[in-house]
Structure 1
Amino acid sequence: QMRWSGYKSKIDIFALGLILLELCVVLLWKMRNCQVFDNYRADRPTIVLDHLPELRHFVAWLTNVRDTERPECREILEHPFLA
């Protein structure tokens, strides 16, 4: 049983989106992570997301501000980005 009554698994989905973004940045562009996350928080697209529209959509889906709009794990596994 969860100790935190306000905890929802959707926060893990958000974290997954940020981790995915960080991995792609490190692997593809070797940019400073701080800059990428600052840009993402400020709703400014990063170079990585501009050049990879499928990744941009996938990360945006995982990190939607509204937790009710974030996918369930099952939906993530069925997404074409992972196919």
Structure 2
Amino acid sequence: MHSSSLPELLADFGIGRALVLAWLLLVAVAVVLVSRRRQAGKRRRHTARADRDDALRLLRARLEGGAISREEFDKLRRTVDP
């Protein structure tokens, strides 16, 4: 197997093609990173909102069932949903 230096490989392959391939690879990596970041952000917001909604639903159920007073409900609601 013949070992070539990078300039020789680029000359054989064509500097233009190498630059196009490098550009396409860079764009592909950027798209993947941006996509993952946006998805992760949506999951975090959805999870926090869902947790808050679940907690409020439980508090309302406890209030309706008589397990807590209106004052306790208001205090806990302010804690959950400032």
Structure number with the bigger relative contact order (C-alpha 8 A, sep ≥ 6) is 1
TM-score (norm 1): 0.31
Q: Decide which structure has greater helix share.
A: 2
TM-score (norm 2): 0.32
Which structure has the bigger radius of gyration? Answer: 2
